[in-house]
Amino acid sequence: MIALAPLLLLAQSAVDPAVVTRGERIFAQSCSVGYCHGVAGAAGRGPRLRGRSFPNDYLLNVTRDGIPNSAMPAWKGRLKDEEIRAVVEYVASLAAATDQAPPANPMPPGIGPAIIPSFNGPPQAARGRALFFDPPRNHCGACHAVGGRGIAIGPDPTALPMKDAAEVMSQIQATRSRHVLAAKLASGEEFPALLAGQNADQVRLYDLTLAPPVLRTSARRDVISLAQNANWRHEDFVRDYSAAELGDIVVYLRWAATGQ
């Protein structure tokens, strides 16, 4: 708690509108990303923040240190102290919001909350579908979209030849280095990443050290290098699945790809 004292003092001081505005920008870049909190604090996969009151010290602790065993990451070391304070001030300001959040969420199809359609496939495919999207652990839908549901960060898994679980996993491993990069920042931080987009000024990367992956936006000058990553292993994310469960997932993907 000693390390948090300076930030707590800042959070208790008078709110500067410029700080709230900065926090809004950071929140939109890193927190309101479809699979976490919704636009302007609306409900997403993460909880609704708009129109709710939280103690500032709680917001500070959660933003800085994350929530263990959840999708809420720790932002210490990723954001500067003043950036964390700005996000806290912005989220605190949402407590007074009585209107609805803007309905438009400018994200590609397959990203963010969606109405879950009924499923009319065979029982084994239904089990695979539940394992793909809904288990209480790391799940495939945190990085892959199928049938308009999930998060289209990684490649389309239905594009793989669907023969058996072992072959599918072998193919995933064979293609991982083509997609996963080793990112190195000017701060000295290094992490496995997927490239989400870039322009002349910024680089947007999905940080794969957390589940679900966190979208991070960096100034191009702060990105020292992006190289193929030969060390990242996809099986680290699916090791909790049994062989039978992976078989069910493959049956679901085959059904999603071919209807059979």
- What is the predicted pLDDT for the residue at 31? 83
Average pLDDT over residues 242-253: 86
Average pLDDT over residues 201-218: 77
Average pLDDT over residues 20-41: 80
Are residue 90 and residue 9 in the same domain, yes or no? yes
Average pLDDT over residues 80-103: 82
**Structure token pair of residue 145:** 């979209």
The answer to the question of residue 104 being in a domain is no
The answer to the question of residue 103 being in a domain is no
The answer to the question of residue 102 being in a domain is no
**Structure token pair of residue 211:** 């589940």
pLDDT(88) > 90: yes
Are residue 7 and residue 66 in the same domain, yes or no? yes
- From 79, 96, 113, give the residue that closes a domain: 96
Average pLDDT taken over every residue of the chain? 76
Max CA-CA distance within the chain?
Answer: 62
The answer to the question of residue 134 being in a domain is yes
> What whole-number percentage of the chain has pLDDT above 70?
73
C-alpha separations of 191 from 3, 74, 208, 213 in Å: 25, 15, 7, 11
Is pLDDT larger for residue 11 or for residue 245? 245
What gap in Å lies between CA 15 and CA 22, rounded to an integer? 12
Are residue 136 and residue 248 in the same domain, yes or no? yes
Are residue 46 and residue 89 in the same domain, yes or no? yes
Most confident of 54-58, 145-149, 211-215, 239-243: 54-58
Cβ neighbours for 249, distance < 8 A, ≥ 6 positions apart? 128, 131, 132, 140, 165, 241
Residue 8 sits in a domain whose CATH number is 1.10.760.10
- What is the predicted pLDDT for the residue at 84? 93
Are residue 10 and residue 71 in the same domain, yes or no? yes
Neighbours of 15 (CB within 10 A): 12
Are residue 244 and residue 167 in the same domain, yes or no? yes
139 has which bridge partners? none
Are residue 185 and residue 219 in the same domain, yes or no? yes
What gap in Å lies between CA 124 and CA 29, rounded to an integer? 39
pLDDT(257) > 80: yes
Residue 187 structural domain: 181-228
Number of domains in the chain: 3
Residue 59: closest CA among 92, 18, 16, 28 = 92
- What is the predicted pLDDT for the residue at 99? 63
- What is the predicted pLDDT for the residue at 1? 39
- From 44, 79, 96, give the residue that closes a domain: 96
- From 27, 61, 96, give the residue that closes a domain: 96
The answer to the question of residue 140 being in a domain is yes
- What is the predicted pLDDT for the residue at 210? 65
The answer to which of 13-27, 72-86, 123-137 has the lowest mean pLDDT is 123-137
What gap in Å lies between CA 194 and CA 172, rounded to an integer? 15
Residue 111 pLDDT class (50, 70, 90 cuts): very low
Phi-psi domain of 66 (left: phi exceeds 0; alpha: psi -120 through 50; beta: other)? left
